[in-house]
Structure 1
Amino acid sequence: MENDERLPPFFGCEFQDVRERAIFRDRFIQLRRRAVERRLGSVSHKRCTLLYRYGAWLLWLIFFSLSKTLYRNETKEMHDRILSIAEAIKLDRIDEKMFAAVVVAEDHRFWMHKGVDHVGFLRATACCLKGRRQGGSTIEQQLVRVISGDYRLTLSRKIKEMALAVRVRDLLSKENLLRLYLEIAYLGNEAEGVRALTRRLGFGVNGISFEQAALVAACLKYPMAKNEAAYAATRRARRIKYIMTRLDVLVPEHQTMAA
């Protein structure tokens, strides 16, 4: 993007209008592409972008074909359930800071991929072959998992989940998919969805700070139990610090909150 220096800081604007949201998203995508380029070493930015784009299209094509053939019935059922849930809960506005925190915590290439992240998929596959587990699920995949209620650790479930995720992308915009996921995700005891959690914590879903947004995002991985042990709070505090580091807005107040 030209005139890159004139853009506001990465997460520095308050996202009051469409223009500011567009600037945020463009900057986010640009930084992720630069990160991919650095990992590939001497490959030029143009070649890096092409490699990422073609890899994403290839993986999308594979799972799209599966959704049209092997998982046709499951795809139709998932479409109907998502549309009915979206209509029932009314997808209201959620603060962009919360969007930012959830994206960097759960799926930092969310704005770039088409429901399945081929970079995360290849990394998770390589770790699995080495006998280690590593997450590579996109937000679309997590949404499919929450709605279907299928959490089995099997290859067949994972393939079906990825096939459904690429079709979910056709139903709603990226922003509305993220809103829907936050509205129904399990975030802790008596906290089904972001609104229930924020009421429990004493703040709303708009006009929040980055620290509050990071706390909500951390609960996706470490939900709040009713009477949780000290180690659970410690793990969540580490997760909040990790998210804040990725947001690049660490401030002294956060150190106090995470302590």
Structure 2
Amino acid sequence: MSSNAAMAETAALVGDPARACMLNALMDGRALTAGELAGAAGITAQTASGHLARLAAAGLLAMERQGRHRYHRLASPAVARMLEAIMMVAGAAPPPARPRRTGPADAAMRRARTCYDHLAGQLGVAIADAMAARGQVELATDGGAVTPAGEDFLAGLGITSQAVGSRRAFCRPCLDWSERRHHLAGGLGAALCARCFELGWVKRVPQSRAVLVTRAGEAGLRRAFGIELD
């Protein structure tokens, strides 16, 4: 299949409203059952199974069994980046009627959310800005690097090279859908996100990609990064 045909097929798969709802439900990095995804899309379980089979065949979803259940997740961070980019372009498109602001209308989603396995929204951008301003990371449009000062900072935060891993980009900027500035992705972004959950600084909002910053998180983020969200 030519690259043009493959691109068109992928776009058609993502462009279906029900499939788009299911893919969006998986954007927080968790795995969900067909029933849960059917509920998110407002369709029957049988219809959802057909959609999921097509998404898996196209390499957009991965499935794993646990006992009697089958769980579906996004196949890779590349799929999440594609979906986030589509959301950003869709949010920037001229509206047919009155103007609307870019990104999610939900204030909680704009404040802090997960973008697959890393933090996004105002919180994610603030962390990236703080680390860049302190010389802990160096970011460019095509990649990023952690400085020696950044390595010391991460070690103090309890993030080791083992936590970051070596099978993916260590540090990569990701253009934020709502803020239109970069947050941290790649292995570093995933490790920072996981550590914030471990420390109890953030917690998930049920049925949403939004995350809440806890009281402990407000203090911890202020202490570690010198940031305060409005």
Structure 1 length as normaliser, TM-score?
A: 0.29
- Larger fraction in helix: 1
